[in-house]
Copies of this chain bind each other. A is one copy, B any other.
């Protein structure tokens, strides 16, 4: 490590088994380690999303092989299928899906609030209809903690009230303040669960979510209210990348960077395009998640250092080159663009796999490169250069 002011700050969490250490910083960017009962996560880190207890098309062994340290699963989806009782009976998420690294479960707030016209919010919670069978369900702050307890992830999330990115101040304030009140109830539920749990059980921690739309004042107020409630293992920033402009997203990240404590990890929810990751790291974000790499992988788009590549394009018909000549993933080390294009043209599952694997690898190693650049005191230049190369590739290449 050279250059960077290696201001090591360790945030020992109140919850045993969790810890966050910052090894080096570069402006707001930090390189650190988020320790959990299921292992360490070098940060900044991208977490692949395993909505239904599977990162779509991939085997957990492949996630390990690309260097993924921590993954996500989803409370809303797992509650509906197979049901938290099944996951619990099978020994919890880690054993069920055979992922022995750290897992975070999203609370389902985002999914429930995306069910336009199928949900009703009260102060008590949110009533919604299952997208599977139309049955009526009711999520309260207490209920989502209970479900997540059964699922058994390392990090669980509060129930939050998510609103569209361009919501007006009054709506945004209403939702943000409700999220804070729901957080207090989540914390009580989580604390009584903790108190009633055997002392040798694997500990689970709860992350609060800062809401407030694109309104800096609301974000600052939420961050303060959350910290006034007590200390937390980590902090999430929610309600971004939901329709607002990128300028607004980045401006809010500057606000939350100032408003949240520096000795705890910050998790930016649901944001995961390559350039957003680098911009987020520049603004003090440590953890990211997004379905983009697997969703785009399934529809035929590859992330590369020179922008996106549509693998269905006929121009790759005879192209012997890998998707990205700089990439060391097992897709790029072995297969040509011509072969991957053929797999997509023929609707072969292996195509979805190879591209999803490449895209997850791409984001995981992008964050690895950011860690290194921060540790070496070279992050500012590295990130500017990378963004410039990525954007010029994206705009000039078909």
Contact = CB atoms under 8 A, between A and B. Distances in A.
Given A82-B317, A97-B339, A339-B96, A56 B334 contact: no
A199 B341 CA distance: 33
Nearest to A90: B338
Contacts of A91: 320
A292 to B, nearest CB: 17
A295 to B, nearest CB: 13
Nearest to A350: B54
Nearest to A331: B59
A335 interface: yes
A350 B97 CA distance: 11
Nearest to A353: B59
Interface residues of A, number: 37
B59 A317 contact: no
A89 B318 contact: yes
A342 B57 contact: no
A343 interface: yes
Contacts of A96: 336, 338-339
A59 B98 contact: no
Given A53-B342, A54-B343, A96-B336, A90 B348 contact: no
A25 B342 CA distance: 43
Given A82-B345, A98-B334, A317-B82, A90 B339 contact: yes
A320 B90 contact: yes
Interface in A76-121: 81-82, 86, 89-91, 96-98
A346 interface: yes
Given A57-B349, A349-B352, A350-B59, A52 B342 contact: yes
Contacts of A345: 81-82
Nearest 8 interchain pairs by C-beta: A82-B342, A57-B349, A54-B350, A52-B346, A98-B334, A54-B348, A89-B318, A90-B338
Given A82-B338, A98-B334, 17 more contacts: A52-B343, A53-B339, A57-B350, A59-B354, A81-B345, A81-B346, A82-B317, A82-B342, A82-B346, A86-B317, A86-B318, A89-B338, A90-B318, A90-B339, A349-B352, A349-B353, A353-B353
Interface of A: 52-54, 56-59, 61, 81-82, 86, 89-91, 96-98, 317-318, 320, 330, 334-336, 338-339, 341-343, 345-346, 348-350, 352-354
